[in-house]
Amino acid sequence: MVKRVIAAANEIDRRPYVWGGGHASFISRGYDCSGAVSYALHGAGLLAYTQVSGQLAHYGDPGPGRWITIYANAEHVFMVVAGLRFDTRNDPEGVSGPRWKMAAPESQILPKFAVRHPAGL
């Protein structure tokens, strides 16, 4: 399951950031934060339809997961998968869209995020 999330995220890694991207359809020329996280979860059969960040703040079970942790609020969502962050923020200048990044220590994650995980993961 975790490998399938990673494989799906890799399919859209480095696509451009497009506000609303990935919501009308999982197939898009670019993705926003919730479209990207939804795409990766859907690729592993963990999500049937795209959700916005506020919906993902209630997805799955509360707390950090062993392999996948989703950080979401009404404005933004990203996930940490096997220790790497999949996010559309904090890209180098001139670069945008979903990317794999080094995960920050949990103490550096903003406290305004709900911390969730897919059941069992």
Return the CATH superfamily for domain 2-117.
Answer: endopeptidase domain like (from Nostoc punctiforme) (3.90.1720.10)
pLDDT digits (tens, 9 = 90+) for 11-63: 999 999 999 999 988 999 999 999 999 999 999 999 999 999 999 999 999 99
The DSSP 8-state label assigned to residue 108 in this structure reads G
Burial of 21: CB neighbours in 10 Å, binned 0-12, 13-18, 19+: buried
Antiparallel, parallel or unpaired: β 84-87 and 77-81: antiparallel
Please tell me whether the overall predicted TM-score, pTM, comes out greater than 0.85 for this model: yes
At residue 36, the 3 state secondary structure works out as: helix
- Are 56 and 77 in contact by the 8 Å Cβ rule? The answer is yes
CA distance 72 to 106: 14
